Amino acid sequence: MSDPIVSFDEAAMRGELRGLVRRTVEDTLNALLEEEADDLIGADRYERTAGREAYRAGHYERGLTTTSGQVTLRMPKLKGMRFATAIIERYKRRETSVEEAMIEMYLAGVSTRRIEDVSEILWGASVSASTVSNLSDKAFEAVEEWRSRPLTRKYPYVFVDGIYLKRSWGGSFENVAVMVAIGVNDDGYREVIGAAEGFTESAECWREFLSWLKGRGLSGVRMFTGDKAAAMTGAIAEVFPDAAYQRCTVHFYRNVLSKVPKSKRAEVAAMLKAVHAQESLEASTEKAGRVAAKLEDMRLAAAAKCVRDGVAETLTYTRFPARHWRRIRTNNAIERLNREIRRRTRVVGTFPDGKSALMLATARLKYVADSEWGSRRYLDVSLLDE
């Protein structure tokens, strides 16, 4: 007699595995929430201590959509203390930026019916087609509200830059600039403090951008860091006359190296880095003079002139605490955000207008700013008062 045939229901097995993963995720998150509540109270359940300030008051349920499916979180309620969890961001319902995804799908021309399928792939739960238009409107409103929020802190260091995206204009394509500003606040944390559309990075655009930041409350700025652009530096001097300007050293290197043959670029790059590795303004200035002389000996007169003419504005950072130097002399803090914007906007390609480009870029900035990027202390700003 032949062996019995064993049937295998692949769909049922996958469903069972997904359910197992979902329950595991749910159980793990709820266990973490319980531990977090215990740590906040500082005592076990029913334990009475002299220093105890809060007590448990039950739970309330809250949904969280994950790629493993919808899970139910049992959020602890406390008496005498507000339970603010670091495990699950307050009011966050999904694993990715809903605003950003909705705007991206809208700009890509995705139909409302198709969004149902896309949302199932993104979050493991579909968004009804009847709610898509409302969600899109709310997404734009949320992003615009965040972009225009008042700036109530002081920001001793501000980094500014512009990024170009493609937009459609009268049947042809042209660049639209999105100008971005990052501030290090008076507690030493980074914030995205501004994003605005500019047709070009002209003096007028930079003046309007900086005036807009100032009008929203930007104050306490001791130094701006940015690329070398006469339009930018002129606008900074006009709108924030008391703030110093630091030319990004990386952009300075690129400018000098563009006048150097490829065969000598590695050697010259090492020479330039040595200028900014010195321990003081005087030592860096002296080193820059020797580098320029060496470049002239190498018959690189254009590069030498670049060094002599531009090195002074790359040494502004030396007026500030030495422990800040490495992070305030370049625009690296904003370059990473620009790469994030390019990566996300590449999906859309060419935007129908400048506002669309600005909204999607701002949604990406908001998402990054709300992540670990904005929760790590960047500088010890207290050193400025020593």
Can you state the angle between helices 203-215 and 230-239, rounded to 10 degrees? 30
**Ordered DSSP codes for 5-73:** PPP--HHHHHHHHHHHHHHHHHHHHHHHHHHHHHHHHTS-TT---TT---EEEEEEEEEEEETTEEEEE
d(CA 224, CA 243): 7
What is the arithmetic mean of pLDDT over 350-369? 74
Q: How confident is the model at residue 244 (pLDDT cuts 50, 70, 90)?
A: very high
Cα 344 to chain centroid, rounded: 12
Which range, 2-6, 43-47, 144-148, 310-314, is most confident? 310-314
Structure confidence by residue, pLDDT tens digits, 94-135: 444 555 565 555 554 455 555 566 555 555 555 555 555 665
d(CA 137, CA 143): 10
d(CA 26, CA 69): 10
Cα 368 to chain centroid, rounded: 4
Instruction: Tell me the backbone φ, ψ of residue 296, rounded to 5 degrees.
Output: -65, -40
* Single-letter residue type at 65: T
Q: In the chain, what are the domain boundaries?
A: 10-93, 95-148, 152-384
pLDDT value at position 8? 46
Q: How confident is the model at residue 6 (pLDDT cuts 50, 70, 90)?
A: very low
User: Residue 231 pLDDT > 70, yes or no?
Assistant: yes
H/E stretch holding 233 reads helix 230-239
Structure tokens at 1: 């007699």
- Minimal CA–CA distance to 191: which of 172, 173, 216? 216
Cα-Cα-Cα-Cα dihedral of 85, 87, 92, 98, to 10°?
A: 160
Structure confidence by residue, pLDDT tens digits, 152-176: 999 999 999 888 776 655 555 667 7
Structure tokens at 189: 């944390």
pLDDT value at position 68? 61
d(CA 341, CA 360): 8
3-state helix, strand, coil in the chain (%, to 5): 50, 20, 30
Q: Are 39 and 47 in contact (CB under 8 A)?
A: no
Structure confidence by residue, pLDDT tens digits, 179-208: 899 999 999 999 999 999 876 667 888 999
What is the arithmetic mean of pLDDT over 233-249? 94
Buried b / exposed e across 7-34, counting CB within 10 Å, b at 16+?
Answer: eeeeeeeeeeeeeeebeebbeebbeebe
The more confident residue out of 38 and 126 is 38
Structure confidence by residue, pLDDT tens digits, 217-228: 999 999 999 987
Q: How confident is the model at residue 290 (pLDDT cuts 50, 70, 90)?
A: very high
